[in-house]
Structure 1
Amino acid sequence: MGRKKLEMKRIEDKSSRLVTFSKRRVGLIKKARHLSDLCDVDVAVIVFSARGKLYESCTGSTNRPVEDKNNNNELSLIEITQLEEYLDAALLQTRSRRVKTELMVEYISTLQEQEKKLGEDKEQLEKLITASEDKQR
């Protein structure tokens, strides 16, 4: 017995909407943790409820930029600005890592081509040495 296809539209029943929000939020955070574990990456998930409550999850060495001192999940404009700056910095760092990784992959490819060429040159030299030794005998 399979699942029925769910139409993507707002759930009108408030109770059902809250249950769906809760379950899907938990599932989203679980998927983010799996992505972090499988791909060895830092993942941050930020979810705001309809009432403005903040739900967040960070994995890896990611440090949360905004401290929640009194367990009040409403963010001030300053905290949102800090969070935005933090996310911009993290994005810039991620892009920088990607560029470095691409350069390293390109360099490794070049080195592998050089290794192959050197191996071919070595084989040719060994053949020449063998032929030279055979002539001398």
Structure 2
Amino acid sequence: MGRKKLEMKRIEDKSSRLVTFSKRRVGLIKKARHLSDLCDVDVAVIVFSARGKLYESCTGSTNRPVEDKNNNNELSLIEITQLEEYLDAALLQTRSRRTELMVEYISTLQEQEKKLGEDKEQLEKLITASEDKQR
């Protein structure tokens, strides 16, 4: 039996919202661990709850920018700044790679467009030659 399609909107019932957050957070971290294991990559997941509580998970040799020393998940201004710098660097790297992949994809599409144009010209010549023979 399949699942029903879930409408993506805020869950109004607070209890249901908290249960969903908890289950999805655990599932997200589990998926990140699987991605790390399967693809041999470092993965970091950072989740802030609605109340500002920090949940984090790292795999591999990823350097953790914030170490929770007092175990109460309250971050100092310096730690937040370090985290922000770390995230900015990761975002910059991700955007750079995305741009690189997009340029490669555009190049591939342009090659396909050129090939299709050549194929179209050949087909038009064949059609013209066929029409000329029928006359």
* Higher deviation after alignment, 66-75 or 37-46: 66-75
**1:83 Cα deviation from its structure 2 partner:** 1.1
SS in 2 for 1:56: strand
RMSD: 7.8
Unaligned segments of structure 1, at least 5 residues: none
* Higher deviation after alignment, 62-71 or 84-93: 84-93
Aligned mates of 1:30, 1:86 — CA distance in 2: 22
* Deviation string, structure 1 residues 43-94 (Cα, Å, up to 9, x no partner): 1000000000000000010121211111111222221110122234455677
* Higher deviation after alignment, 107-116 or 49-58: 107-116
Against the structure 1 CA distance between its residues 68 and 130, is the aligned structure 2 distance closer, same or farther, given a 3 Å change threshold? same
How many residues are treated as equivalent by the alignment? Answer: 135
**1:21 Cα deviation from its structure 2 partner:** 0.2
Unaligned segments of structure 2, at least 5 residues: none
SS in 1 for 2:41: coil
SS in 2 for 1:47: strand
Scaled by the length of structure 1, the TM-score of the pair is 0.64
Aligned mates of 2:12, 2:126 — CA distance in 1: 83
Q: Percent sequence identity over matched residues?
A: 100
Larger-gyration structure (1/2): 1
